[in-house]
Amino acid sequence: PPGRVVAVKTVLPGYAASADDLARFRREAEAMARLDHPHIVPVYEVGQTLEGVPYYTMRFVKGSRMFSAAIQEVRGRSADERLALLEPFLKVCDTIRYAHAHGVVHRDLKPDNVALGEFGEVVVLDWGLAKMTDKPDSLAEAWQHRLQDYRDASDLRTLANALGTPGYMSPEAALGRVAEVDARSDVYSLGAMLFEI
């Protein structure tokens, strides 16, 4: 409707997106669109510009900050202040349980992919590596190839951009055993987040 403030996600203009990049972009929009949950941003529209650049629109989360920033803020503070982060963490757990019940595995859970709104909203973001369990895993082959390419990489940020985030990845994901990556892998990542809290 007119007057609604939305966020628009698109492939950067002038960026030569690879087939993998475009597939990830489409997968993210599809995963989010199939999940109707208060802690997942609703997708309003998926399309292409007149120039053929893919985009999707979604609800704008007002006044958000990343969960990672909230964790950093309570480092070294009282146990009560740290324990206060369990409330948003449990909302993330409920969100992922909902996603799993609807056949979606996130595969890149970490505090940087959780936004906290100014009124207590918790939003799980970045579904670009999501796996839909009722479809062939379009990322599996690329995941294995990239893992091989980056296995000896000295810069782990490159590996993170390709596959997930070291430190939050389950062992099967980190070892490239993509067929074994399922809901349990997300639970492992949630455990890593809880440990960080």
The residues that are catalytic are 108
Q: CB-based burial of residue 179 (10 Å sphere; 0-12 exposed, 13-18 middle, 19+ buried)?
A: exposed
For residue 146, the tally of other CB atoms under 10 A from its CB is: 19
C-alpha closest to that of 86 among 117, 119, 122: 122
The DSSP bridge partners found for residue 54 are 48
**Cα 180 to Cα 37: distance, rounded to the nearest angstrom:** 26
User: Which residues, 6+ apart, have CB-to-CB distance to 118 below 8 Å?
Assistant: 62, 63, 64
Contact status, residue 114 vs residue 124, Cβ threshold 8 Å: yes
